[in-house]
Amino acid sequence: MRFHVCLAALAASAAVASPAFAQAFPSDDAPAVARGVVLQQHSLKNQTNLDFGIVTTDGVTDGNVTIAATPAGARGFGGGVLLLPSTPTSARFDGLGAPLETVVLTLTKPVGNVLQDAAGDQITINSMSVDGAGLTETITTSTTGTFTSYVGGDFQILKNQKAGVYSGDFNLNAEYQ
């Protein structure tokens, strides 16, 4: 019986010692970092449309009307065009990117390079520009990531231009670098 008691005691101590015996195996751990990059949301929004206002002609000479691609959107004219009281504006676009990010702006003129009225009569676009730099401009956003750009243009008005409301869709694309 003594032999069975010793054997039972030995079995009991082995069962209790098993976890201690398992802890004797070596283990390692190593620190690591979890990370990622979140970019600021990019956007480009049209705030005002390009509008050369109300004009007429002298009926004798072709001419043109211009809107500067600036915040003031100054209106000018040439030839037989006469400016009438109205509220002309350059188109204004507000954008958002990462702080001090390079942005390439590309202007796409209306289809056919014309403005058209409901009857199909047309006005030719002599030129359009973004911030006076032509159809493409490269800018850098502010330290807060914002930018504002303006679009202006030069429009041909014929001496016998038909009365109408002329319009055409154009696009300003911002490519964030």
Q: What are the residue ranges spanned by the domains of the chain?
A: 43-176
Residue 39 has what DSSP assignment? P
- Predicted confidence (pLDDT) at residue 15 exceeds the cutoff of 90: no
Q: Which fold has domain 43-176?
A: Immunoglobulin-like (2.60.40)
Query: How high is the pLDDT of residue 5?
Result: 46
CA 52/CA 75 separation, integer angstroms: 7
User: 166: closest CA among 130, 112, 129?
Assistant: 112
Query: Where does the pLDDT of residue 24 fall: very low under 50, low under 70, confident under 90, or very high at 90 and above?
Result: confident
What average pLDDT score do residues 170-177 get? 97
Give 150's contacts (C-beta < 8 A, 6+ positions apart). Answer: 68, 69, 70, 71, 73, 90, 91, 92, 93, 130, 131
CA neighbours within 13 Å on the CB side: how many for 35?
Answer: 3
Number of Cβ within a 10 Å radius of residue 69: 25
Query: How high is the pLDDT of residue 7?
Result: 46
Query: Where does the pLDDT of residue 37 fall: very low under 50, low under 70, confident under 90, or very high at 90 and above?
Result: confident
User: 55: closest CA among 88, 75, 83?
Assistant: 83
Query: Where does the pLDDT of residue 112 fall: very low under 50, low under 70, confident under 90, or very high at 90 and above?
Result: very high
CA 177/CA 56 separation, integer angstroms: 44
> pLDDT, tens digit, for every residue of 123-163?
999 999 999 999 999 999 999 999 999 999 999 999 999 99
Predicted model pTM = 0.79
Query: Where does the pLDDT of residue 18 fall: very low under 50, low under 70, confident under 90, or very high at 90 and above?
Result: low
User: 75: closest CA among 63, 87, 83, 67?
Assistant: 67
> pLDDT, tens digit, for every residue of 67-80?
999 999 999 999 99
